[in-house]
Each structure stands twice: as structure tokens, then as C-alpha cells.
Amino acid sequence: MSAPVIQVHKGIGVLPLIGTVDEIRATLIMEKSLEQSSTYQLDHFVVDLSGVPVMDTFAAQNIFQIIHALSLLGVNVTISGVSPSIAQTVVQLGIEFGDIPTYSSLHMALESIHR
């Protein structure tokens, strides 16, 4: 699985994640997210979890590392595609999304950015 960052509008990119996030893929996702955010000069970056069937502690930790690295570049990050099963797992694992805007769909996330 690759880690394509899609520029959907000037300054707005989406990373659609599909499948599981293992160690090798997490490294690739981090590299591509930072590289493409810089290349596209993104202000907003949406991590879309719609295609992620299971969220474990490893995947959540890596997503937070990506968010932190992007914020150091001045990019605002939003999470979309939070399914009921991912929400339940995240709560059971005690993972805090804190101040990161989260939405159940990519459509809702993109609408919030355009407001």
C-alpha cells in the first residue's frame, strides 16, 4: 500500500489511508505526508481513516506522530472517516484525540475547512 497525498484544493491535501498501518508503511506515510505537504504548500491536511478497518495503539501513535510533525510545519490537521468501531476502539485504548478536529466523513471535514 502506498501513501498518496491528494491535493483537493489549493492549500488542502488529503491522505486516504486504506488497510493496516505497519512499521514500514508508517515510515512511508510520514515521509510522504511531510514531503507532499511541503511540495503542495498545504495549509490543511486531512488524514482520512475511512479505509482503515482496525485502529490499534501502534497505528494511533503513528498517526499522532504524523500530526505532530505536520503541525511543526505549520499545517492544520484534521482526521476524517472515524467509524463507530474505530471510535469505540480509540476510547477503549484510552487514546485522546485532544484538540484535533475529527469527523465521521471526508465530506464533513472538507466542509469544516471551507467555513
Instruction: Determine the Cα angle at 5 with ends 2 and 7, to 5°.
Output: 150
Q: Enumerate residues 6+ apart whose C-beta is below 8 A from 99.
A: none
pLDDT of residue 71: 93
State the total domains in the chain. 1
Please write the tens of the pLDDT for every residue from 7-53.
999 999 999 999 888 888 889 999 999 999 999 999 999 999 999 88
Q: What is the pTM of this model?
A: 0.90
Q: What is the CATH number of the domain that holds 33?
A: 3.30.750.24
How does residue 108 score in pLDDT terms, banded at 50, 70 and 90? very high
Q: Residue 15 belongs to what domain range?
A: 6-93
Residue 77 lies in a domain: yes
Sheet holding 6-9, edge to edge: 6-9, 12-18, 44-51, 76-80
pLDDT of residue 1: 55
CA distance 74 to 78: 13
pLDDT of residue 61: 83
Residue 79 lies in a domain: yes
Residue 88 lies in a domain: yes
Residue 113 lies in a domain: no
Please write the tens of the pLDDT for every residue from 41-75.
999 999 999 998 888 888 888 888 898 999 999 99
The DSSP line for 33-94 is HHHHHHHTT-SEEEEEEEE-S---HHHHHHHHHHHHHHHHTT-EEEEE---HHHHHHHHHHT
How does residue 5 score in pLDDT terms, banded at 50, 70 and 90? very high
